[in-house]
Structure 1
Amino acid sequence: MATWDDIRAVALTLPGAWENDWRGQPLFQVGKKGFVQTSGDRVIMKLEKHHQELLFEARPEVFTPMIAGALRWSFVDIEALDPDEIGDLVREAWRQVVPKKVSRAHDAHA
């Protein structure tokens, strides 16, 4: 079972990522762009569109669209995931907001 601390542990290792407060809720961002945040007791992640569509079909109990028809942001039931899987999703969300040269450089050294 993954927790917000698992998300934090991965997110803070990513280049340019920092934790902010958005309306009293934690938010991870790079510059002004958010990639993982909470909304009440739910976690929202900015995921790659095609991967997101597959997740909605394969695991609808874990991944749901934030707004019907508005792809990119997904509600994620992190308690249904293990820490390794949540780490992969946090890195994917981060890649959605950083320049490609930054993500490529990071991936080459990982």
Structure 2
Amino acid sequence: MAAIEDVRALGSELERSYPVYVRGRLKFRVKQIVYVAFSLDETVMGFAFPKEERAALIAGEPEKFGLPSESDMRFNWVHAELAALDPTEAREFVVDAWRMVVPQKVSRAYDHSHPDGPG
């Protein structure tokens, strides 16, 4: 069972990433692009995810994943119930979302310094 504390430090440590609070909600950004955001009650993690893979992810595990709100459907975005994820899985989604918003050279440098995946 994952919790916000399982990914908070990671989101702050990833290169070019920084935390912000918007109306009480923790979000992680690279420049002005939000790639991870938590619900106010910190039970749901929204994250960047390829639109073309979204339906398959949700269909495969509907108890874990859901679509964003109608107004956010145009974005590369998915929601996950944090309690349904294990901590390693939650960290992997954070890193994968971060990869979508940083240059490839930054992502490759991370891979070289973390060959076993997100810590």
Q: Does residue 1:24 correspond to 2:24, yes or no? A: yes
Task: Name the CA distance, whole Å, in 2 between partners of 1:88 and 1:45.
Answer: 11
For residue 3 of structure 1, what is the aligned residue in structure 2?
3
User: Which consecutive residues of structure 2, in runs of 5 or more, have no partner in the other structure?
Assistant: 115-119
Q: Does the CA contact (< 8 Å) of 2:28 and 2:36 recur in 1?
A: yes
Worse-matched range after superposition: 27-36 or 69-78: 69-78
Q: Does the CA contact (< 8 Å) of 1:65 and 1:71 recur in 2?
A: no
- Given the two structures, how large is their TM-score scaled by the length of structure 2? 0.82
Worse-matched range after superposition: 60-69 or 45-54: 45-54
For residue 65 of structure 2, what is the aligned residue in structure 1?
63
Task: Name the CA distance, whole Å, in 2 between partners of 1:94 and 1:65.
Answer: 19
Q: Does the CA contact (< 8 Å) of 2:24 and 2:40 recur in 1?
A: no
Task: Name the CA distance, whole Å, in 2 between partners of 1:98 and 1:71.
Answer: 16
User: Which consecutive residues of structure 1, in runs of 5 or more, have no partner in the other structure?
Assistant: none
Choose between structure 1 and 2: higher strand proportion: 1
Task: Name the CA distance, whole Å, in 1 between partners of 2:113 and 2:20.
Answer: 26
Q: For 1:54-93, list aligned pairs within 5 A.
A: 54-68=56-70, 69-70=73-74, 72-93=76-97
SS at match of 2:2: coil
User: Sequence identity of aligned pairs in percent?
Assistant: 34
- Given the two structures, how large is their TM-score scaled by the length of structure 1? 0.88
Q: Does the CA contact (< 8 Å) of 1:48 and 1:92 recur in 2?
A: no
